[in-house]
Chains A and B, each alone.
Chain A
Amino acid sequence: MSMRTPLGRVRGLGSAKSGTEDFWWQRLTAVALVPLSIAVIVIGMGLLGRNHAAAVQILGSPLVAIVMLLFIVTSAYHMKLGMQVIIEDYVHGESAKLTLLIANIFFSIAVAAAAVYAVLKLSFGVV
């Protein structure tokens, strides 16, 4: 058993001076996602009833593609941060928590990568 006091053992392990980073990015991405989500709703509704050729043309046009890319990357980061909070709140077993935290990051990046790839493919006219 250590003779050190609880306070002594945590001294020097404290603030990494970046403790509010997740909080800040959650808010920053939230602010960005308000106009971006509205834009994506408009784009999605603009494709209603249109065929594949029209969808390719609209999704591949520069402005739409850039909005889609911003939406994908911003929402992927926002949802990664949000799910991390949910996991940290409800999962208390260390191994389960670690597994889920890793899965959360992998899922967020994989979905974003797939969607970004699709938009770039549409934009560069490979379809």
Chain B
Amino acid sequence: MAEAVKNPRPLSPHLQIYSPMLTMMMSIVHRITGAALYFGTLLVAWWLIAASSSPNAYATFQGFVGSLVGCLILFGYTWALIHHMLGGIRHLAWDLGYGFGPAEREWLARATLFGSIVLTLLLWIVGYLMMGGQR
């Protein structure tokens, strides 16, 4: 009977069989942003460790975050965090059984994408103004 298990079983169609849809893309992006945030925690840890170490260490951190590369990484981190958060709220609604309808899930996907971009830009504009428009 053991060979019954070894027989290759028919597989369900995989990703390449489907044409890309917004909800599917958002699912993939949710996972990618999650993985990005995983490594982004290194930035948070650096921030806290630098603050707890010395003024020099903190200046080094501030120098990096203020640089072009640092700004891009921080901007990406901000967007990933907000996008993953909004996507997560969407998933929590789904877990409770809401928002599965064809129109609803499309609307939710658009709202997540639009909301994350608008909120990220808004935060950075506020941040820029708080810095006195220096950078």
Contact B45 A115 (CB under 8 A): yes
Q: Is B24 interfacial (CB-CB < 8 Å)?
A: no
Contact A6 B1 (CB under 8 A): yes
Dominant SS among interface residues on chain B: helix
- B74-131 at interface with A (beta carbon < 8 Å): 78, 81, 85, 88-89, 91-92, 95, 123, 126-127, 130-131
Chain B residue with minimal CB distance to A83?
Answer: B38
Contact B89 A34 (CB under 8 A): yes
Q: Is A16 interfacial (CB-CB < 8 Å)?
A: no
Chain B residue with minimal CB distance to A50?
Answer: B62
Interface size on B, residues (CB 8 A): 38
Q: Which residues of B contact A (CB under 8 A)?
A: 1-2, 4-5, 31, 34-35, 37-38, 41-42, 44-45, 47-49, 51-55, 58-59, 78, 81, 85, 88-89, 91-92, 95, 123, 126-127, 130-132, 134
Chain B residues within 8 Å of A2, by CB: 2
Least CB distance, B92 to chain A, in whole angstroms: 6
Q: Which residues of A contact B (CB under 8 A)?
A: 1-6, 27, 30-31, 33-34, 37, 40-41, 44-45, 48-49, 51-53, 55-56, 59, 68, 72, 75-76, 79, 82-83, 86, 111, 114-115, 117-119, 121-122, 126-127
- From A5, A55, A83, A114, give the contact of B51 (CB < 8 A): A55
Q: How far is the CA of A78 from the CA of B8 in the complex (A)?
A: 35
Q: How far is the CA of A75 from the CA of B45 in the complex (A)?
A: 12
Contact B2 A48 (CB under 8 A): no
Contact B52 A86 (CB under 8 A): no
Given A6-B5, A37-B85, A48-B131, answer yes or no on A31-B92 (Cβ-Cβ < 8 Å).
Answer: yes
Contact A27 B123 (CB under 8 A): no
Dominant SS among interface residues on chain A: helix
Contact A30 B49 (CB under 8 A): no
Chain A residues within 8 Å of B132, by CB: 49
Contact B49 A115 (CB under 8 A): yes
Chain A residues within 8 Å of B2, by CB: 1-2, 6
Contact B35 A83 (CB under 8 A): yes
Contact B81 A114 (CB under 8 A): no
Contact A41 B38 (CB under 8 A): no
- From A34, A52, A83, give the contact of B55 (CB < 8 A): A52
